[in-house]
Structure 1
């Protein structure tokens, strides 16, 4: 790209307050009046993921929580609601009825946090870069429909799509479409480490121990021109090794907000007012948990084996005994809080039924007990994951139809092993990239799915998904999404387990915590502020 001249130096269902506890100590425990957030998320540079905060690679909740507040995108989600609104763009829209040509006009005078001018060339550079780098662990699938990007002027961007896609504006709200400085980032290589240069509401300075991110200090970006106004000049995000230490810091006043990582028992404690001076905000979550089957693996290739497991899993027991009712049973890849949801798995399999599972296996000539290993990650979805898989093991083995072993693997090894299809069956979680039923379907069922699943259903891939993307009025796609959910329930390439509720704990002088997440569960640091104590 051309070298540029140097320039001198926001929920469809809002979080609801579940409880206000009185008393306790005041103060944030941070210098300069910064609001301090706590999380047990782990952001680590590894051999296979050397650039965890590079938008061409980052594709997980923890990394995106940092990127959403540091980088700017053409569009963003509003404080509440699901319809994208302009951010770096002044205006955007499709230029044709087929939803294949998307044109944006940038705001005037955009700059990166380092003072460099931001032009349409940077937008083109950034979108092209994700596709050029094509990292198998990254968010490339969100942009795979981009055919070419044109820049008629310094403020005009025209994005041509290969196929119609009414969801494309929503995809532009994600860090996959983060706008990068073409003078800082290479066009064909990841930027290793944890340094970032963006044009978002905050600039970020990171602190690292070894290869592990321990703290991010967000400072209001004076160059930011966008749709929102940060309500706090400085915010710190601290990462804790365990939830117990994080709870102590919150109770002491060294933390102001906890947005991630509390156990069900800790949430129950907060609900009962046992952590003084803290309010708990709760909403229906968008995140789901599920089992994935490598349908090419001999141990689960027979559909009857997967269907038998669907007959046996007791979701009610999982959410009651493991997650203490901080989650809800899930019977589809699309959660109940998203339009187009139907309880396809319950419609197909009903309540747990060992006799029905036995009939399915016997009819298919499958010898029992079926030997199978279920793999889970030990350090990504919380300490309850191990307990959850022990409960799944107990349920399946109690039927006498399965002989299940379970195996825990660190995330740094787990994620690349998935891409290599090394596990026949394993547990995963998903938080949406954008709030549309398409984002619970396409990432799992297209040929370039993010899990590299071998499952193929030509009707879903070639007919139904393209058809749903042609509907600008999204409710008109409901019937096709329901057909997809029924097909998934029949073939069982995935087995939905539960959907999470979302919780944010905040000390009583913090305002804006009810807006901490947008409708896609993206962290909105710019909504947080310190107010008067009650």
Structure 2
């Protein structure tokens, strides 16, 4: 989902002075070599585990560790848990590692784990991760060191859910309530770092936790900043205020590649940009309107204009390589060719569909975009040029991350059309479809509800991971979604990082934020 900002740039003389002191991307002279400063895509409004997902986990999991840890090779190993057993296909029993303490000195207990998980599994939980916990039947404790989780049915993704969910202190939440995670009451955890300073939607400072049970982390302090705008992002690197940028905006890759003193890394992303239609709001409850817009979007021109050669057209919401890795490649290829054929740029077809709709003369709609993703605004502005040719006017409204979330995902206050980027939270191909097509889940910005799709997604999750029929089911679900024009898949981007010369994020890929990534930064002498 990957979660913000607008102030004026510094005065011209200040800018000149800053540039004059820039030192080819290396840290500025008064910056301690044991400190690390990075530009990140988003900073949350609250450091509560319910409000962090995707790249926000890069900060959260360094403080609030998970029971099991995701590794760069894709494996999941014990972390706060000393061991895990599977009493049945739907049950997981975790035994906690002895002697683990929170940063305030209190011991970690099974009740803390249970409480941490119920923040997400409780009915009507506002958690960004609620979808992953929806199939939990019960969470039980035994003594101070055992937790048993029972699912309603087997779920191939649940192991990743545990690896992405940080453990918090129940006593700390009982004492501080909704204040936990705010600048005045930072969250506490068992991890190698503790929250030190926090400016919502702007900047977070972590410091090494002196009471940490394991090896002390490589940096005494980590500062993670969200840039105010594109110019500020480049200037922050040039001035030596930051050592790098993670998940760099694709619209700025050319600028970053030209910077002296920085080197880039790239990897395929499990994410896609999409156009959402809120199907509970007119005129987007009309399939002809949705199909008209689908045909009026020049996806190829969008991809080239916004991302250059750094994104591939997306026939559907799951990259073909991810689907083919677990299914029959020939079957997948044929299905994807069909998906692509239905996404033609054809203004005549668009006009014909609109004439069949309840809005034959077109309409005007306000489209929210988040300040945290400058690509959204570029996409909407470019789309507007073609949609105007069929009588549809798009007006951009810029919102901070929280406002965008309410407008598109939670309160659905937007007019009904939006553009966003949705990241896969696990390597399983069901991840994006389940979280963006299931009724009631916040990723379902279209409020889509098709009984056949619901049944196919549910049946997929009941199948063993080596059962090829599950991919057939998923392809069928995606075909129905395409026929309904529930969303318009645009493109699948790459993911980039730029670090000061000599620094490398070893094993950088789309899921870097789920690992203990800080240990994977290497520095050559």
Q: Give the TM-score of the pair, scaled to structure 2.
A: 0.84
Residue 291 of structure 1: which of 275, 289, 296 is its match?
275
Any conservation in 2 of the 1:396–1:404 contact (CA below 8 Å)?
yes
Structure 2 residue runs of 5 or longer lacking an equivalent are 1-22, 325-331
Deviation of the 1:35 alpha carbon: 4.2
Question: SS in structure 1 opposite 2:407?
Answer: helix
Q: Deviations over 1:332-379 (max 9, x none)?
A: 1113452357637744514312233344445x4555232141513241
Match of 1:13 in 2: none
Residue 497 of structure 2: which of 504, 513, 520 is its match?
504
CA RMSD of aligned residues (A): 2.9
Conserved 8 A contact 1:30-1:254: no
Answer yes or no: is the 8 Å Cα contact 2:35–2:220 preserved in 1: no
Q: CA deviation at 1:421?
A: 2.4
1:409: which partner in 2? 398
Q: Which residue of 1 aligns with 2:115?
A: 125
SS of 2:137 mapped into structure 1: strand
Give 1:267's match in structure 2, choosing from 229, 253, 270.
253
Residues 1:333 and 2:324 aligned together: no
What displacement does 1:528 show?
4.4
Residue 466 of structure 2 is matched in structure 1 by 473
Structure 1: gaps of 5 or more residues? 1-22, 46-51
Q: Call closer, same or farther: CA 1:388–1:528 in 2, change over 3 Å.
A: same
SS in 2 for 1:104: strand
Q: Where does residue 102 of structure 2 map in the other structure? A: 112
Question: Matches of 1:468 and 1:133 in 2, distance apart?
Answer: 21
Q: Could you tell me which residue of structure 2 aligns to residue 237 of structure 1?
A: 224
- Please state if 1:439 is matched with 2:431: yes
Using the alignment, how far apart are the partners of 2:287 and 2:428 within structure 1?
29
Distance 1:387 1:170 in 2: 33
Deviations 1:167-209 (A, max 9, x none): 11111122xx32111121139943251412011232221243x
- 1:143 aligned to which of 123, 126, 133: 133
1:106-140: CA deviation from partner (whole Å, max 9, x where unpaired): 22322222222112221111112333484436322
Counterpart CA distance in 2 for 1:409 and 1:293 is 18
User: Structure 1: how far apart are the matches of 2:275 and 2:32?
Assistant: 45
The CA distance in 2 between the partners of 1:101 and 1:322, in whole Å, is 46
Deviation at 1:496, TM superposition (A): 1.2
**Cα distance change on mapping 1:85 and 1:474 into 2, 3 Å:** farther
Aligned positions of 1:446-525 closer than 5 A: 446-451=438-443, 453-473=446-466, 477-511=470-504, 513-517=505-509, 519=511, 522=514, 524-525=516-517
What pairs with 1:117-266 in structure 2 (closer than 5 Å)? Answer: 117-132=107-122, 134-136=124-126, 138-174=128-164, 177-186=165-174, 189-190=177-178, 191-194=180-183, 195-208=186-199, 211-219=200-208, 222-224=211-213, 230-262=217-249, 264=251, 266=252
Query: Is 2:47 aligned against 1:53?
Result: yes
Contact 1:40 1:260 in 2 (8 A): yes
Matches of 1:248 and 1:178, distance apart in 2: 34
1:103 and 2:75 matched: no
Tell me by how many angstroms 1:475 deviates: 5.5
Over 3 Å counting, the alpha-carbon distance change for 1:212 and 1:490 in structure 2 is closer
Q: Would you say 1:276 and 2:260 are equivalent positions?
A: yes
CA distance in 1, matches of 2:514, 2:198: 22
| Aligned partner (choices 376, 379, 392) of residue 383 of structure 2 | 392
Task: Report the alpha carbon displacement of residue 282 of structure 1 after superposing the two structures with TM.
Answer: 0.9
Residue in structure 2 matched with residue 379 of structure 1 by the alignment: 371
Greater per-residue helix proportion: 2
SS of 1:333's partner is coil
Query: How far off is 1:149 after superposition?
Result: 0.9
Q: Distance in 2 between the 1:465 and 1:521 partners?
A: 28
Q: CA deviation at 1:502?
A: 0.8
How far 1:234 moved relative to its partner?
Answer: 3.4
Q: For 2:359 and 2:124, locate their aligned partners in 1 and report how far apart those are by CA, in whole Å.
A: 42
- Secondary structure of the equivalent of 2:270? strand
Which position in structure 2 is the counterpart of 1:5?
Answer: none
CA distance in 2, matches of 1:444, 1:303: 18
Match of 1:303 in 2: 287
For the 8 Å contact 1:433–1:520, the answer to whether it is kept is: no
Paired with 1:367 and 1:322, the residues of 2 have a C-alpha distance of 30
The CA distance in 2 between the partners of 1:515 and 1:524, in whole Å, is 11
- Per the TM alignment, residue 425 of structure 1 is displaced from its structure 2 partner at its CA by 1.2
Preserved CA contact (<8 Å) 1:445 1:456? yes
Aligned residue pair count: 487
